[in-house]
Amino acid sequence: MKTIGHFSKIVKAIAYLVALLGYTGFLFRIAKKQAEVSGRPMLNVGCKAVYTDSSDINLDIVHRSVPNFIKGDVQNLYMFPDKRFGVVFASHVIEHVLDPEAGLKELGRVGDEVYVVTPPPFYPQAWLHPGHRWIFMGTRMVCRNPLFDWWHKVRNFLFSHKWQSNKNSCSTGLK
């Protein structure tokens, strides 16, 4: 396998540290350079609208109006053969999925190099984001987010009731 230089492991470690501070752009550029050196395309998983112009293929579970978009689930990348990509970049994805082990396995199956960024457990947002099912430190699962179920119970309670106007008064109430 080709590398991006003699200090590639050091550069990758620094890039991950910078990503911990909330700036994933540096890590993305390292990943993109690695894909170019490999001569194979780069897959951007969970793309939203970030780095989509620089990625060869952009994948997300919901439709995005971005270049080279494919709708798919990180837990089942059946549409790609083994080692199709030189690099797979997944930023803030794996903490949202039902089965993160399956997602990580699929990322490793379709890519030679896999870059995964997750919010560190010492960031409050890692715990408070209502979509975060899991807490990670890098690619190591720390625990299931105990607030995830609580957030969804509250949401289901609030939106399961029909709020209707009471025709006999100026107030609103549950019906």
Q: Which domain holds residue 62?
A: 8-148
Q: Mind listing the pLDDT tens digit for each residue in 28-72?
A: 888 899 999 999 999 999 877 677 788 899 999 988 888 899 999
C-alpha–C-alpha distance, residues 6 and 58, integer Å: 29
Q: So what's the pLDDT on residue 110?
A: 97
The confidence score (pLDDT) of residue 12 equals: 65
**Is residue 73 situated within a structural domain?**
yes
Q: Which tokens go with 10? A: 């050091």
In a domain, 158, yes or no: no
Whole-model pTM: value is 0.77
Span 99-158, pLDDT tens digits? 999 999 999 999 999 988 888 888 888 888 888 998 888 778 888 888 888 887 887 777
Report the half-sphere exposure of 12 (CA within 13 A, side-chain side).
18
Predicted pLDDT at 30 = 86
Residue 51's CATH number: 3.40.50
CA 79 to each of CA 41, 116, 156, 161: distance values in angstroms, whole numbers, following the listed order:
15, 20, 34, 40
Q: How many domains does the chain have?
A: 1
Q: Using the predicted structure, report yes or no on whether residue 159 has a pLDDT greater than 50.
A: yes
Reported as a pLDDT band with limits 50, 70 and 90, residue 4 is: very low
What does R_g of the chain's alpha carbons equal in angstroms?
Answer: 20
